[in-house]
Amino acid sequence: MSENILSVKNLVIHYETDEEVVEAVNNISFDLKKGEILGLVGETGAGKTTTALGIMGLLPTRVGHVIQGSIELDGENLLEKSPREMRKVRGKKISMIFQDPMTALNPVKTVGDQIAEVVLLHERCSRAEAMIRAQKMLAMVGIVPERYKDYPHQFSGGMKQRIVIAIALACEPELLIADEPTTALDVTIQAQILDMMRKLQKEHNTSMILITHDLGVVAEMCDHCAVMYAGELVEYGTVEDIFDNPQHPYTVALYKSIPSLDKDVDRLHVVPGMVTDPSNLPSGCSFSDRCDKKGDMCNKHEAPGIVDLGNGHLVKCLKYKPEVEEK
């Protein structure tokens, strides 16, 4: 269980247009062990989806660029692979579930065809076999297999997300990236989908990156948790570390903004200010403008490095680098 399936190192991704350069992902590194679930948390625009697309090799062409870093899957650097080799990885080794199931399925193809497509692409089998597999997958995600010849518009949002999951798991990938898989769904359906995903993940021992901005979901599902802010990984650790002992001021602020049943508060705490504009990052620490523990050094010094607080709990904040403040 200790073997790393995915290892992202010093990844930097920029979006370049004629008008501006957006520094979407700034130098992030993390590892994912086999069979584990990593929660990727952060506000909208923090670079979570960009990271996922970067791993998939699906950054928007012409605009999205990986500037530096490496993404290793099973020890192979995905960034060095040719488009042709990447196509063999996508769908087979890594799959992705997208945010909005309403638009993620091709409206003019039957759902059976769409599941069978990925099977046909990656496995040697006949069309008929692929169709049988598609029906099995439908049954697995809790849809009557006979509906394989129905079209996407005949399903509800929750059902569509089940189909998207069926497509993602059809080739038993080693890594599943779920990009806010429940955000677009009703609350009641969210729990069902998450339960199903966890069950399937355990059964197949799939590693998973779960992107969300719902800390509750992370607490329930994940082993490790990474908090992103303005394209940086500000805190990383086990779910226990992050939840019981948050260290970065941003993580602390995020917790304060969660409604609690235990405490009786009139108003929820709000993280002050707006998400930092990633096309115009401040010097030094990106969070410094909104930080309530900001010191004199935070803007002057170069962006803070990562500090290991022991047993793999990483924090990116000057607070934990006393030698810098003394200088």
Partner 1 sequence: MLKYILKRILYLIPILIGVSAIIFALKTVTPGDPARQILGNDATEEQVQEKRDELGLNDPVLVQYVNYVGGIVTRGDFGDSYRTGEPILTEILPRLLTSAKITLGAVMIGAIIGVLLGIISALKKYTWIDSVVLVISMFFQSVPEFVVALVLIMILAVKLHLLPATGITTWQGYIMPMLCIGLSAVAGYTRITRSSMLEVLGEDYIRTARAKGQSEKNITYHHALRNAMIPVAQSLGSNIGNAIGGGMVLETVFGVPGVGKYIVDAITQRNYPGVLGGALIIAIILTLINMIVDISFVLIDPRLKTTIISGGAKKMPKKMKAA
Partner 2 sequence: MAKIHTPAMEKIEKRNAKRKKPVKSTPTTESWKRFKRNPTALLGLFVVCILILVAIFAPLIAPFDYQKQDYASMMQAPSMKHLFGTDQFGRDIFSRVIFGTRYSLVIALFCTIAAFFSGGLLGIIAGYFGGIADTIIMRIMDVFQSIPMIMMAMCIVAVLGNGIPQLVAAVMFASMPTMARSNRAAILRVRGSDYIESSEAIGVGQIRMIIKHMIPNAVGVMIIYFVGFLAVSIMMMSAMSYIGVGLSAPTPEWGLILNDGKAYLTSAPYMMLFPAMMIMITCFAFNLMGDGLRDAFDPRLK
User: Which chain residues interact with partner 1 by CB under 8 A?
Assistant: 56, 58, 62, 86-92, 95-96, 98, 100, 103-109, 117-118, 121-122, 151, 153-154, 164, 167-168
Which is nearest to 231 in space by CA: 8, 38, 16, 43? 43
**What's the token pair of residue 284?**
């030094």
**What's the token pair of residue 59?**
């950054």
**Candidate list 4, 9, 12, 86; residue touching partner 2; CB under 8 A:** 12
**Candidate list 11, 23, 241, 313; residue touching partner 2; CB under 8 A:** 23
Q: Is the Cβ of residue 302 or residue 326 nearer to partner 2 in the bound state?
A: 302
What is the nearest approach in angstroms of partner 1 to the Cβ of residue 57? 9
Q: Is the Cβ of residue 183 or residue 279 nearer to partner 2 in the bound state?
A: 279
**Cβ atoms 98, 164 nearer than 8 A:** yes
Please tell me what DSSP assigns to residue 37: E
For partner 2, what does the binding mask look like between residues 40 and 79, x meaning CB under 8 A? -------------------------x-xx-----------
- The neighbouring-strand residues paired with 22 are 15
Please tell me what DSSP assigns to residue 320: G
Q: Is the Cβ of residue 39 or residue 91 nearer to partner 1 in the bound state?
A: 91
- Restricting to residues 175-194, name those near partner 2 by CB under 8 A: none
**Residue in this structure with the two tokens 């798991």, named with its chain if needed:** 169
Applying CB under 8 A, does 19 fall inside the site for partner 2?
A: yes
What is the nearest approach in angstroms of partner 1 to the Cβ of residue 197? 16
What residues contact 104, with CB distance under 8 A and at least 6 apart?
98, 160, 164
Q: Is the Cβ of residue 68 or residue 257 nearer to partner 2 in the bound state?
A: 68
* Residue 23, binding choice from partner 1, partner 2, none, Cβ under 5 to 8 Å by partner class: partner 2
What number of residues does the chain have?
327
Stretch that binds partner 2, among 10-18, 234-242, 244-252, 317-325 (CB under 8 A): 10-18
- CA pair distance 263, 188, nearest whole angstrom: 25
Applying CB under 8 A, does 326 fall inside the site for partner 2?
A: no
* Residue 51, binding choice from partner 2, partner 1, none, Cβ under 5 to 8 Å by partner class: none
Q: Is the Cβ of residue 191 or residue 281 nearer to partner 2 in the bound state?
A: 281
**Candidate list 60, 272, 273, 305; residue touching partner 2; CB under 8 A:** 305
Three-class secondary structure of residue 206 per DSSP: coil
**Cβ atoms 316, 234 nearer than 8 A:** yes
Three-class secondary structure of residue 66 per DSSP: strand
Three-class secondary structure of residue 65 per DSSP: strand
What is the nearest approach in angstroms of partner 1 to the Cβ of residue 110? 8
What is the nearest approach in angstroms of partner 1 to the Cβ of residue 134? 13
**Cβ atoms 112, 148 nearer than 8 A:** yes
Which is nearest to 47 in space by CA: 23, 67, 24? 24
Q: What are phi and psi of 315, to 5 degrees?
A: -135, 145
Applying CB under 8 A, which residues contact partner 2?
12, 14, 16, 18-21, 23, 26-27, 65, 67-68, 281, 283, 302-303, 305
